Amino acid sequence: MTSYPEIRLHLGGRGWVAETACHKDVLNPATGLPVGRVPLASAEDLRHAAESAARGFDLWRSVPAIERSAILRRAAGLLRDRKATIAEALTREQGRPLGDTAMECLVGAEVLDFFAEEARRIFGRSVPPRVPGAIQTVLRDPVGPVLAISTWNVPVNHAARKLGAALAAGCSVVLKGPEEAPASTMMVVAALLDAGVPAEALSLVFGNPPDVSDLLIAHPAIKALTFTGSTRIGKLLAARAGAQMMPVTMELGGHAPVLIFDDADIDKAIAILGMTKFRNAGQICIAPTRFLVQDGVHDRFLAGMVKAAQALRVGDGMDPASQMGPLSTRSRVDAVAALVEDAVARGATLHTGGHRIGNAGYFYAPTVLGNVPTDALAMNDEPFGPLALINRFSDPDAAIAEANRLDYGLAAYAYTGSEAMANRLAAEVQSGMLSINHHGLGPVEHPFGGIGASGMGSEGGAEAVERFLVTRFVTRVAR
């Protein structure tokens, strides 16, 4: 086992910086004890990063697309080579089992490989002229320096998606990483720099989130914003970005409904949902949460989910036997506990879990609640924890109405043996992503984003690059 790395900022042309005036402890959520400390950027550091990004943009945009592609591919290879070191640091700072964090490193590498290919496919076009002899061209240019704000729950994947798409487009980036999981984010940035991204084109900062976002969004060098986080903060940042007329990508909160019909393959549904609900202790924006189960299969599905929750081995992510690690912070434990207590007080049935585990760290038992009233806080606020809410329905119309009741529209799931019902759900369920009869969300080649209060834009597919490009039209006639 290696020691937890020294966390550093990368401030463009100034390079890596470990010492700043202020620091914050990085806690291991399995113990609640510090494993390291993260330096916090000063206002001067942030301005330097933005100014460096402006210089780096002029440099990076001039690099041929085929070379940008090669650099991203090299960075993907470095993530694979460094997988063991990154995964261990991520488990120590974020808590997930080591097998999960190792897989996230491989996913991050796949993300960079995908955007390496997209870098070679940013094409303009010619438009047939109305004037004889005219040449009319549509150009796709990088928008400029990007502020990318990522979060702690899947930090390697978030950093790879934001940096990969922006760099593929030819943009420079200032990445504001998560203070809770800084080492893994830093290692993604290091891989890109080691692969050949110019130092001035890529900065990494940590700091008090409102201070960082307020200064950098208003800085004249920054031309676009990509953010992953809560709906509340996303709306605030989008408003500030709108005042600067900058494009935004917002990957915000979710409260994913799951509709399970009488004709579904229930064994398959239990096997998939019993795993995906509790992955990363439920701290996944697309985690299935509101389970709406038709009368004929309700009891069987409920029993299967309770059994799956009770079978999970919860423990320190460094223990190979652990299947679910702790929540990320003490405040997350308190928040989930409060949601469970509120639901039970309003009449929900607690079938399993509903309690903290142990006296050290931030462990909470996988929890299944049934008969949860719609006015319970958990049915309206994103739980972001190991909490499954299971209610029955008789009428498909009512189930679809409940699926669409909230403003969230990130992910939704359904299990049915009816092609007609699958087609109806595809047409009527209001969600940016819908997966029917399997868990098919997340591969980088697919669009990844929400509608409504869950955000705008995409962090996957060819669409992910679009927010970092501007379209210009040039028409000319030879003299």
Catalytic residue status for 419: no
Q: Which of 180, 285, 382, 459 is catalytic?
A: 285
Of 78, 279, 335, 57, give the one whose Cα is nearest residue 189. 78
Q: Which of 104, 118, 179, 251 is catalytic?
A: 251
Classify residue 93 by burial, with Cβ atoms within 10 Å: 0-12, 13-18, 19+.
buried
How many CB atoms neighbour CB 265 within 10 A?
15
How many CB atoms neighbour CB 218 within 10 A?
13
Catalytic residue status for 105: no
Distances (CA, A) of 452 to 237, 250, 402, 404, 405: 16, 11, 16, 11, 12
Q: Any idea which residues carry the catalytic annotation?
A: 251, 285
